[in-house]
Amino acid sequence: MTFTIPDLPYERNALEPHMSRETLDYHFGKHHQGYCNKLNALAKGTPYETMSLEEVIRSSFEKEDTGVFNNAAQTWNHTFLWNSMSPDSNGTPRGSLAARIDESFGSLDAFRQRFKEASVGQFGSGYVWLVADGDKLDIISTANAHTPLTSSKVPLLTLDVWEHAYYLDYRNERDRFTDAFLEHLANWEFAQANYDAIGKG
């Protein structure tokens, strides 16, 4: 099986002015595609070829097969990232997920503050995730390519804090990038669908 990446769920200029077409040209067109190409090269002729992408991630993680894991996880993480953003976002969750955010963090503002602290506090490259952890929600950060898929936590929404995710638009101001995500880009319908899928909605 050849691994592929899906098309973006919006046009490359659809997230402007909060994320530029130039950023998506590089981030989606070069970085994401590059991880997928490397994964296909590494998986060729191995048992990974017959696995789903999620199975490759978990298997390579358990085997400490770092090269395969990094490229498989980045292929999956980036697809999840693109769906975590929407040009139609108003920055506000609704329904059962909104209620659970209030229960878990105290308020939407408190959630945003904790998410921003996790983003700015992530040393080096990685991701910040809103996850379901049993009956609770949590915010976690992962380094480099690591992903909640290797744990019992279920990802609902993510933000990529590798420099190539924001440097063209925000230079070194990761805090401003995180604010733009939370206020203008976060796809709460996608997060709600992920929450519903685990029977929590």
Secondary structure (H, E, C), 109-146: HHHHHHHHHHHHHCCCCEEEEEEEECCEEEEEEEECCC
What are the strands of the beta sheet with 126-133, ordered from one edge? 136-143, 126-133, 154-160
Q: How far apart are CA 4 and CA 159, in angstroms?
A: 21
Confirm if 160 and 74 have CB atoms less than 8 A apart.
Answer: no
Confirm if 115 and 108 have CB atoms less than 8 A apart.
Answer: no
Phi, psi at residue 139, to the nearest 5°?
A: -115, 125
Confirm if 187 and 157 have CB atoms less than 8 A apart.
Answer: yes
Give the amino acid at 114.
R
| Superfamily (CATH) of domain 95-197 | Iron/manganese superoxide dismutase, C-terminal domain (3.55.40.20)
Tens digits of pLDDT across the chain (201 residues): 799 999 999 999 999 999 999 999 999 999 999 999 999 999 999 999 999 999 999 999 999 999 999 999 999 999 999 999 999 998 999 999 999 999 999 999 999 999 999 999 999 999 999 999 998 999 999 999 999 999 999 999 999 999 999 999 999 999 999 999 999 999 999 999 999 999 866
Q: What DSSP letter does each residue of 90-109 carry, written as one string? A: -S---HHHHHHHHHHHSSHH
Sequence ranges of the domains in the chain: 21-83, 95-197
| Superfamily (CATH) of domain 21-83 | Fe,Mn superoxide dismutase (SOD) domain (1.10.287.990)
Q: What is the pLDDT of residue 201?
A: 62
Number of H-type helices and E-type strands within the chain: 9, 3
